[in-house]
Amino acid sequence: MMGARAWLTVLATIGVAACGAPAHMPTVSMRMNGGPPNASVTVDDIFVGNLELVMKRGVALPAGLHHISVEAPGHLPWDSTVDAKEGQGPLRIEVKLVRVPD
């Protein structure tokens, strides 16, 4: 898991990426696809946005292991651990939440 300082850097990178400001630490782009679009995405227990937003913008992850969770009302949660390796291309993750059976 990451410390608060590393996550502040991640969140700053996400916020300034569109402005073209350089990142202060190497990151790996995580791209997600799937549904439902209103699902909540957390990385290392920190909310990063709904799935629709993450699909549009991606998330810059510092190198290392990260726990990804996706949850939506009426669906079973989805969890995975990813290894973001410096210098690799974007991590591509497919998430299709399954409805809770009646």
Q: Is 50 exceeded by the pLDDT of residue 27?
A: yes
pLDDT digits (tens, 9 = 90+) for 42-91: 999 999 999 999 999 999 999 999 999 999 999 999 999 999 999 888 99
pLDDT tens digits along 77-98: 999 999 999 988 899 999 999 9
What residue spans of the chain are helical by DSSP H? 4-16, 51-57
| Domains of the chain in sequence order | 4-94 (2.60.40)
Single pTM value for the model: 0.74
Residue 101 scores a pLDDT above 80: yes
d(CA 23, CA 15): 11
Tokens 């995580």 belong to which residue?
30
For the beta sheet containing 78-84, the strands, ordered from the edge strand earlier in sequence to the opposite edge, are 46-50, 40-43, 64-71, 78-84
Q: What pLDDT sits at residue 13?
A: 47
Element (H, E) at 15: helix 4-16
